[in-house]
């Protein structure tokens, strides 16, 4: 058993399949070459004779695991939010980004499974043991290095990109001013997310247009969208309706956004948002 | 008879008539080059429009001062027409005149009075243009307008001078007492030695100005004096909200006309439209886009198209003659920018105001059709909507299976395939089905219909978008797909009567589906509910709310539904009107598929209307359309106005409950 | 989400089908490349007879011809799908010559299996780069950009290659009506491959609880903060 670029969720499921867990990290091959990574994992898996391989269901995780499946002629179950060992292994997979679930059976001598981050509450446990990869690196074939990172292009403007962020904390008219966004930025930072805003805010000049979420701004589909002081006009909702979950923080319990949100807190966002940030800090 | 004069006149006449004829023939050929348009039906209605709008000057008289001014000049010219013949005769023979008419005293009186009216009209026109300076003239060619007014003044002044000098010389063929004004002017001329020269000079001036004007007419906006009558005659006589469909199944070899890309794509009616424009700017004055700082001005649009027609039309004509393909530049962005095309909300205020019958919406939609269907060039945010309408059958992109969710718990019957049709089919529309604010009106309507024991049902998931947003955007292809589908569903179920809460659905199903085999009696929910109230099947009690009602464009203007909603408003509370009401209503900003586009320039249209509503002092803004509900509610929120936006059905339901509560109290008090 | 009676598929009576957004970007990229450099493009799908609509949509964007691997509507898992595609590609290359590039969507919007493109690449013995947001042909190889770490990693992949792309690669054009009318007449080669037994076998579909949005009130004012944090933990954000 091993984990790759371990997300806490994938570790949680992997532990069910046996302990101790061994881990191989995505940074093992530098610069990153997916086929080489796959070759490395195949060798380690064979040498350790593991019954299953888990990885986080990130783009890179799924890529490498799918290659591993193709290379070793095995089936591969991606984005599993539940898995039980057995013969066959039973999994529950996400479809439609999680709007639909699939119960499936995985019939293979070795189970290849990825687990999406943010899918469920994690349980803690012993950390996996890192495998010493140095001896394997010398055995990587040149053709596995054909597809390899040759360079890197920086994103325009640092920080988490709004379109890609898994968590977006967004502010509207209720934030009140440019300075008012400090609490929004704080919460976004603590959650590893990006800051967004509504059109009213960009018109007022409190945030740049690149932060605007909406029909004429950026359309986003994060795991979680926290809308602070945003009324929820149709054009704004068009930009964030793809969000998996929406938390609305608004003083007006009748605001249209309340009908489009999964969770709501009614009250003054200037008190609520810092309180949430403080609560999160207590955890860390 | 003066042979020299005759000869000179003959030459001048030949020159003038030739120049006039050449230009007139060119303009005629340009119109004939236009693509076909079916405008020959219902001749009686067309004749009526002619009588009311042209002869009666009805649209112009809505603005009293300019209306009277123009009527004076217009009627004046009709009366003065024979004086042209009299003048032509008089140039050649100082003692001859038109047989019979030239000797009629009553005619001389008419001429005097109307000539003075024309002069008064011209003076008034100058006062309006130079002193009052209305904004509607922004962008119009004022030098040209001034010249035309001066020429008219010149014609009338020279006419007076001629008549006055003739009376002074005793040449009048009618009793001078019948021409008091000319008689008055004649007094200082009696006995003066130069009066005979004045007489000749005046008549020659008069004739030369007229002939010169005749030619100038064909090169200026004054062309409207010929074309306005024609354009009004060929205007829509019914179903103003109906757009002309495209026949996609055109035979191989005939090219399908996907709207208008170049001048050669315009229909002949559109050609006449562009040539009829007088640059008066009444359309610009009422355009919601223009009045909130957008680029679109309906007047400038038509002027630009006219300029392009005149610039490139001749090229197209000569190419046709030689059998080659003309190199014509695209109308967008050369004559008209993309912004102008997309700014339009298709509210129809411009079409309604236009005294010469220009139908601006047809131009905009044809430009859009080409941009969307051929060039795929339109605002990005609308692409999502078009895709959703095409693939999900509704512009929200939400699952059709959720369409009846709004009615959960209301006990509304969903008509399944194969079941017999109810008396009335309640066509809900996409907005109430999927938008939480827009659905209030539908919920109230369903409750009221049940209370009145109306036999009705909804189609639920079998109802798809009528296609209106796609059609107004120019995507006629997607629209027709949806229309045919809906007509199939409705016809299969043998539906005969439909009630709907959405004016756009009302317009499309009622006016446009007939082109696809769908003929139903379609009623708007306000009309239906008002009928129920009149019949006593619903009993409301008016409350204390002050209500101002916002007329939806697709009800009040495109379809003449204005009073039924007011009956409901009056049954629910105390009504106060906005200045721009009924057919002069100001759009909420959602039409023309703009509900799915964002306004990037100027002030938001919905906020403008909300400010007007708030200005009446009313607490409630009553609406009859789910789009108006959403747009105006957004406007209330962004302007923090003290208004509640509520659908008339909901207000009526409140009023019915109020009455029931009062009656219950009354009986319990008795018992 | 409404399931069909046997819970084996979505109830499709009132649904319209469409191309996944990732795949649509792949189609658009292919059309652009052929427009720039000349050549021929082919679109392929594995699906029931109705899927021919999506092939026509792709051809309306400018693809020259289509291959339709027809199924009876039942699900094919990722391995089986890839196998059928490999056979079809090999058959087409035998008659019409090799493909310089084969585009896939990164993952299908519906089953999200993530593996078809990579399996096809492995079977054909061609290099593959995934999740691409930037693609540019440079000589005999392709410069690929993949999102990573607040920027993009760049790969140079020699052709012939297989690329899986993501929505955001380009903005697909809105098909013109003349394009759609032409697409109705373009050729579609249909065949019916046999379905091998699945090693990742679908048992049933389940609609997760809590669909549809009815806001759960977590509290009022600053006092709601602990409840919010609890929610964040339960959904895995913290």
Radius of gyration for chain B, computed over Cα atoms and rounded to the nearest angstrom: 30
Q: What are the angstrom distances between the C-alpha of A118 and each of A9, A41, A191, C63, C92? A: 7, 25, 12, 39, 42
A chain contacts of residue C124, beta-carbon cutoff 8 Å: none
Q: CB B638 to CB A200 under 8 A? A: yes
Of B436, B598, B637, the CB nearest to A215: B598
Q: Tell me which residues of chain B have a pLDDT lower than 50.
A: none
Residue B380 domain flag:
no
C chain contacts of residue B380, beta-carbon cutoff 8 Å: 171
Q: What is the pTM of this model?
A: 0.87
A189 contacts B355 by C-beta, under 8 angstroms: no
Q: C129 touching A, CB under 8 A?
A: yes
B chain contacts of residue C2, beta-carbon cutoff 8 Å: 399, 401
Cβ count within 10 A of residue B8: 14
Q: A266 touching C, CB under 8 A?
A: yes
Same domain, yes or no, for A141 and A233?
no
Residue A184 domain flag:
yes
Q: CB B634 to CB A215 under 8 A? A: no
Residue A81 domain flag:
yes
Residue B449 domain flag:
yes
CATH number at residue A202: 3.40.50.1220
Same domain, yes or no, for A197 and A267?
yes
pLDDT of residue A159: 63
Residue B579 domain flag:
yes
Cβ count within 10 A of residue C236: 21
Same domain, yes or no, for B344 and B212?
no
Same domain, yes or no, for A131 and A229?
no
Which residues neighbour B80 within 8 Å (Cβ) at sequence distance 6 or greater?
A: B111, B114, B115, B118, B159
Q: State which of B233, B254, B272 marks the end of a domain.
A: B233
Same domain, yes or no, for A174 and A107?
no
Q: C168 touching A, CB under 8 A?
A: yes
Q: Tens digits of per-residue pLDDT, A36-53? A: 999 999 999 999 888 899
B chain contacts of residue C181, beta-carbon cutoff 8 Å: 248
Q: Tell me which residues of chain A have a pLDDT lower than 70.
A: 1-6, 96-99, 155-159, 215-216
Q: A248 touching C, CB under 8 A?
A: yes
Same domain, yes or no, for B186 and B283?
no
Same domain, yes or no, for B74 and B215?
yes
Same domain, yes or no, for B412 and B518?
yes
> Domain count of chain A?
2
Same domain, yes or no, for A110 and A176?
no
Same domain, yes or no, for A25 and A108?
yes
B chain contacts of residue C180, beta-carbon cutoff 8 Å: 477
Residue B379 domain flag:
no
Closest-approach residue (CA) in chain B for C61: B376
Same domain, yes or no, for B166 and B312?
no
Same domain, yes or no, for A127 and A172?
no
CATH number at residue B362: 1.10.1060
pLDDT of residue A1: 46
pLDDT of residue B19: 96
Residues recorded for chain C: 238
Radius of gyration for chain A, computed over Cα atoms and rounded to the nearest angstrom: 22
Which residues neighbour A202 within 8 Å (Cβ) at sequence distance 6 or greater?
A: A208, A209, A211, A212, A217
> Domain count of chain B?
4
C21-191 placed in CATH 3.40.1280.10 = no
Q: State which of B183, B217, B233 marks the end of a domain.
A: B233
CATH number at residue B394: 3.40.50
Strand partners, A249: A228, A265
Residue A257 domain flag:
yes
Same domain, yes or no, for A19 and A125?
yes
Of C118, C149, C231, the CB nearest to A66: C118
CATH number at residue A44: 3.40.50.620
Closest-approach residue (CA) in chain A for C211: A99
Strand duo C141-148 + C128-138: pairing: antiparallel
- Full residue range of the structural domain in which residue B557 is found: 540-660
pLDDT of residue B435: 85
Same domain, yes or no, for A79 and A194?
no
Alpha-carbon distance C84 to nearest alpha carbon in chain B (angstroms):
28
Q: C16 touching B, CB under 8 A?
A: yes
A65 contacts A55 by C-beta, under 8 angstroms: yes
Residue B256 domain flag:
no
Q: Is C168 exposed, middle or buried (0-12, 13-18, 19+ CB in 10 A)?
A: middle
Same domain, yes or no, for A138 and A14?
yes
Same domain, yes or no, for B480 and B525?
yes
pLDDT of residue B411: 94
C chain contacts of residue B386, beta-carbon cutoff 8 Å: 174
The rounded distance, in Å, linking the Cα atoms of B505 and B623 is: 16
Same domain, yes or no, for B424 and B523?
yes
Contacts 24+ apart (CB under 8 A), B477-483: B477/B248, B477/B373, B477/C177, B477/C180, B478/B386, B478/B389, B478/B390, B480/B245, B480/B246, B480/B248, B480/B516, B481/B390, B482/B389, B482/B393, B483/B508, B483/B512, B483/B513, B483/B516, B483/B518
The rounded distance, in Å, linking the Cα atoms of A283 and B289 is: 54
Residue B558 domain flag:
yes
A chain contacts of residue C150, beta-carbon cutoff 8 Å: 154-155, 158-161
Q: CB A234 to CB B630 under 8 A? A: yes
pLDDT of residue B584: 95
Cβ within 8 Å of C, A 80-139: 88, 92-108, 114, 117-122
Residue A155 domain flag:
no
Interface mutation vs chain C, best among A30, A38, A95, most C CBs within 10 Å: A95
Q: State which of B214, B233, B252 marks the end of a domain.
A: B233
The interface predicted TM-score of the complex, written ipTM, equals 0.85
Same domain, yes or no, for B441 and B330?
no
- Full residue range of the structural domain in which residue A245 is found: 167-283
C chain contacts of residue A241, beta-carbon cutoff 8 Å: none
Same domain, yes or no, for B544 and B509?
no
pLDDT, averaged per 10 consecutive residues of chain C (238 residues), comes to 55 64 87 90 90 91 92 85 92 91 78 79 93 90 84 90 86 87 92 89 78 76 91 85
Same domain, yes or no, for B553 and B653?
yes
Closest-approach residue (CA) in chain B for A236: B598
Same domain, yes or no, for B99 and B199?
yes
The encoded tokens of residue B503 equal 């004016």
Same domain, yes or no, for B465 and B563?
no
Counting one residue from chain B and one from chain C, the pairs whose CB atoms sit within 8 A come to 46
Strand partners, C216: A263
Same domain, yes or no, for A185 and A73?
no
Residue B243 domain flag:
no
Name the residue among B46, B53, B44 with its Cα closest to residue B353. Answer: B53
Interface mutation vs chain C, best among A39, A81, A147, A259, most C CBs within 10 Å: A147
Q: CB A150 to CB C150 under 8 A? A: no
């Amino acid at each position: 058993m091993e984990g790759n670029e371990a997300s806490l969720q994938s570790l949680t499921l992997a532990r069910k399949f046996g302990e101790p867990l061994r881990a191989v990290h995505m940074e093992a091959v530098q610069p990153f070459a997916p086929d080489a990574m796959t070759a490395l994992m195949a060798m380690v898996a064979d040498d350790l004779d593991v019954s299953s391989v888990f990885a986080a269901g990130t783009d890179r995780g799924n890529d490498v695991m799918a290659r591993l499946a193709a290379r070793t002629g095995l089936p591969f179950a991606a984005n599993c939010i539940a898995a039980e060992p057995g013969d066959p292994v039973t999994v529950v997979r996400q479809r439609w980004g999680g709007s639909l679930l699939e119960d499936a059976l995985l019939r293979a001598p070795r189970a290849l499974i990825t687990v999406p981050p943010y899918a469920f509450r994690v349980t803690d446990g012993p950390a996996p043991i890192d495998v010493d990869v140095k001896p394997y690196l010398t055995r990587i074939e040149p053709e596995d290095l054909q597809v390899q990172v040759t360079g890197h292009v920086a994103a325009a403007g640092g920080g988490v990109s709004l379109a890609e962020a898994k968590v977006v904390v967004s502010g509207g008219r209720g934030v009140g001013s440019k300075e008012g966004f400090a609490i929004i930025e704080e919460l976004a930072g603590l959650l590893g997310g990006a800051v967004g805003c509504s059109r009213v805010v960009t018109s007022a000049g409190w945030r740049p247009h690149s932060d605007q979420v909406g029909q004429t701004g950026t359309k986003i589909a994060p795991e979680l969208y926290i809308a602070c002081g945003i009324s929820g006009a149709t054009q704004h909702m068009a930009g964030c309706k793809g969000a998996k979950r929406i938390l609305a923080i608004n003083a007006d319990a009748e605001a249209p956004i309340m009908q489009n949100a999964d969770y709501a807190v009614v009250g003054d966002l200037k008190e609520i948002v810092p309180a949430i940030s403080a609560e999160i800090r207590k955890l860390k | 008879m003066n042979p020299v004069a005759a000869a000179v006149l003959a030459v001048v006449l030949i020159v003038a008539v030739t120049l006039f004829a050449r230009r007139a023939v060119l303009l005629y050929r340009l119109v004939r080059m236009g693509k076909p348009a079916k405008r020959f039906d219902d001749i009686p209605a067309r004749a009526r429009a002619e009588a009311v709008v042209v002869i009666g000057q009805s649209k112009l008289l809505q603005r009293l001062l300019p209306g009277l001014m123009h009527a004076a000049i217009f009627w004046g010219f009709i009366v003065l027409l024979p004086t042209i013949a009299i003048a032509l005769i008089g140039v050649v023979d100082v003692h001859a005149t038109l047989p019979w008419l030239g000797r009629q005293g009553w005619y001389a009186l008419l001429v005097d009075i109307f000539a003075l009216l024309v002069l008064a009209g011209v003076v008034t026109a100058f006062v309006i243009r130079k002193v009052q300076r209305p904004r509607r003239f922004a962008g119009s060619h004022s030098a040209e307008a001034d010249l035309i007014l001066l020429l008219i003044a010149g014609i009338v002044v020279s006419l007076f001078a001629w008549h006055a000098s003739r009376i002074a010389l005793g040449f009048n063929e009618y009793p001078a007492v019948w021409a008091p004004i000319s008689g008055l002017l004649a007094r200082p001329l009696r006995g003066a030695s130069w009066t005979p020269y004045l007489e000749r000079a005046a008549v020659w001036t008069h004739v030369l100005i007229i002939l010169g004007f005749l030619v100038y007419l064909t090169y200026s906006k004054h062309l409207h004096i010929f074309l306005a009558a024609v354009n009004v005659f060929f205007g829509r006589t019914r179903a103003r909200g109906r757009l002309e469909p495209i026949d996609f199944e055109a035979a191989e070899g005939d090219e399908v006309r996907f709207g208008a890309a170049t001048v050669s794509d315009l229909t002949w009616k559109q050609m006449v439209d562009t040539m009829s424009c007088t640059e008066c700017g009444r359309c610009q004055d009422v355009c919601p886009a223009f009045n909130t700082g957008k680029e679109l001005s309906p007047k400038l649009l038509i002027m630009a198209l006219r300029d392009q027609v005149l610039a490139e039309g001749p090229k197209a004509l000569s190419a046709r003659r030689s059998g080659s393909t003309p190199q014509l530049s695209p109308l967008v962005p050369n004559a008209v920018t993309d912004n102008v095309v997309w700014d339009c909300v298709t509210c129809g205020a411009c079409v309604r105001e236009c005294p010469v019958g220009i139908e601006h919406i047809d131009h905009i939609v044809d430009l859009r059709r080409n941009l969307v269907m051929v060039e795929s060039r339109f605002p990005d945010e609308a692409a999502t909507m078009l895709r959703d309408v095409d693939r999900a059958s509704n512009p929200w992109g939400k699952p059709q299976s959720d369409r009846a969710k709004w009615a959960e718990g209301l006990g509304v019957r969903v008509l399944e395939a194969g079941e017999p049709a109810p008396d009335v089919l309640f066509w809900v529309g996409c907005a109430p089905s999927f938008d939480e604010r827009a659905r209030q009106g539908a919920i109230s309507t369903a409750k009221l219909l049940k209370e009145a024991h109306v036999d009705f049902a909804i189609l639920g998931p079998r109802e798809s978008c009528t296609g209106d947003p796609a059609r107004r955007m120019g995507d006629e292809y997607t629209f027709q797909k949806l229309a045919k589908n809906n007509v199939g569903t409705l016809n299969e179920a043998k539906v005969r009567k439909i009630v709907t809460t959405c004016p756009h659905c009302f317009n499309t199903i009622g006016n446009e589906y007939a082109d696809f085999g769908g003929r139903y009696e379609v009623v708007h929910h306000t009309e239906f509910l008002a009928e129920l109230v009149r019949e006593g099947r619903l009993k409301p009690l008016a409350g204390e709310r002050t209500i101002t009602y916002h007329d939806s464009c697709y009800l009040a203007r495109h379809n003449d539904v204005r009073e039924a909603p007011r009956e409901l408003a009056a049954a629910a509370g105390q009504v106060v009107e906005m200045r721009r009401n009924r057919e002069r209503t100001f759009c909420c900003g959602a039409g023309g598929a703009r509900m799915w586009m964002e306004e990037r320039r100027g002030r938001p249209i919905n906020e403008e209307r909300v400010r007007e509503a708030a200005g009446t002092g009313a607490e409630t803004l009553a609406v009859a359309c789910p789009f108006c509900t959403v747009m105006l509610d957004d406007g209330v929120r962004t302007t923090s106005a003290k208004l509640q936006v509520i659908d008339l059905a909901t207000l009526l339901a409140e009023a019915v409950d109020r009455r029931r509560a009062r009656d219950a109290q009354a009986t319990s008090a008795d018992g | 989400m409404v399931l069909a009676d046997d819970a084996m598929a979505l109830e499709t009576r009132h649904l319209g089908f469409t191309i996944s957004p990732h795949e649509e970007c792949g189609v658009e990229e292919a059309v652009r490349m052929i427009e720039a450099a000349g050549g021929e493009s082919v679109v392929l799908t594995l699906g029931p007879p109705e899927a021919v609509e999506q092939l026509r949509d792709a051809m309306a964007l400018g693809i020259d011809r289509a291959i339709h691997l027809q199924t009876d509507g039942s699900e094919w898992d990722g391995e089986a799908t890839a196998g059928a595609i490999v056979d079809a590609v090999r058959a087409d290359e035998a008659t019409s010559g090799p493909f310089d590039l084969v585009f896939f969507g990164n993952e299908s919007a519906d089953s999200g299996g993530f593996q078809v493109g990579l399996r096809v690449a492995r079977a054909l013995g061609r290099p593959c780069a995934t999740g691409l947001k930037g693609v540019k042909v440079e000589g005999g190889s392709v410069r690929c950009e993949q999102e990573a770490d607040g920027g993009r990693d760049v790969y140079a992949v020699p052709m012939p290659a297989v690329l899986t792309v993501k929505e955001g690669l380009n903005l697909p054009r809105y098909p013109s009506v003349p394009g759609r009318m032409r697409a109705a007449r373009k050729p579609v080669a249909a065949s019916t491959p046999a379905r091998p037994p699945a090693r990742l076998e679908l048992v049933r579909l389940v609609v997760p609880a809590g669909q549809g949005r009815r806001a759960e009130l977590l509290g009022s004012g600053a006092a709601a903060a602990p409840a919010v944090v609890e929610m964040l933990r339960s959904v895995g954000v913290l």
